[in-house]
Homo-oligomer: A and B are copies of this chain.
Amino acid sequence: MAANILVVEDEPAIQELLAFNVTQCGFRAIQAMDVASATAEINRALPDLILLDWMLPDTPGVELARRLRADQRTRNIPIIMLTARTDERDKVMGLESGADDYITKPFSPRELMARIRAVLRRRMPQMSEDTVRAEGLELSPTTHRVSANGSSLDLGPTEFRLLHFFMTHAERVYSRAQLLDQVWGDHVFVEERTVDVHIRRLRQAMEPSGLDRLVQTVRGSGYRFSSN
């Protein structure tokens, strides 16, 4: 879930520092030095968050923030304002113009990163009742619990994700490669046979409840979650 972060800052040194830290934290940094190029970048692809300097060569940062808030498509993009000013009125102005958070220079990289993460977390909340039920199984991501016919199952993280995927994608057959993409992530490189091992571990955990039959092998194709 590498979020794209647009960094709008005219001072090259600070721009570099920001980009470095942002990248370091696993986000993708898109750089812009003024409002004009920032607007161009935003039109090209909507970023997930914007780090916006207060003072910019062409237009004040607040002005950009206000414009983004007025536009339907960009209304919900979180904005963190950067400024050298500590004036309380400016802070109010920044937040009123639609910024989600506000940070004054000089700032510690760690503080900045923490704020970025906090804002992203706040803006991307999980959905409602996410408990999945099927065939006597009940799995809830929020409580991180699984129960089979009442008694609770003890699964490792990978088996948990695997079962969750299966329960939300029942009946259909998935190849080992597909399961690796979906459960492990596309960027991870592991042997396909590793899937077999985790399938086995999952079945083993489900065996006491007799529900291990739900995880079926489709020879030559992959695995399937089904009651038949």
Contact between A178 and B128, CB atoms less than 8 A apart: no
A108 and B188 alpha carbons, distance in the complex (Å): 12
Contact between A142 and B172, CB atoms less than 8 A apart: yes
Contact between A142 and B173, CB atoms less than 8 A apart: yes
Inside 8 A of A171's CB, which chain B residues have their CB? 143
Q: Are A186 and B118 CB-contacts (below 8 A) given A44-B125, A67-B128?
A: yes
In the assembled complex, A14 has its CB within 8 A of some CB on chain B: no
Inside 8 A of A219's CB, which chain B residues have their CB? 156-157
A196 and B189 alpha carbons, distance in the complex (Å): 31
Q: Are A228 and B125 CB-contacts (below 8 A) given A110-B189, A111-B189, A118-B186?
A: no
Contacts A/B (CB < 8 Å), 26 sampled: A40-B127, A40-B128, A42-B128, A43-B125, A43-B127, A43-B128, A43-B142, A67-B129, A71-B129, A108-B189, A110-B189, A111-B189, A114-B189, A117-B177, A118-B181, A118-B186, A121-B177, A142-B172, A143-B173, A144-B218, A144-B221, A144-B224, A152-B228, A156-B219, A157-B220, A157-B221
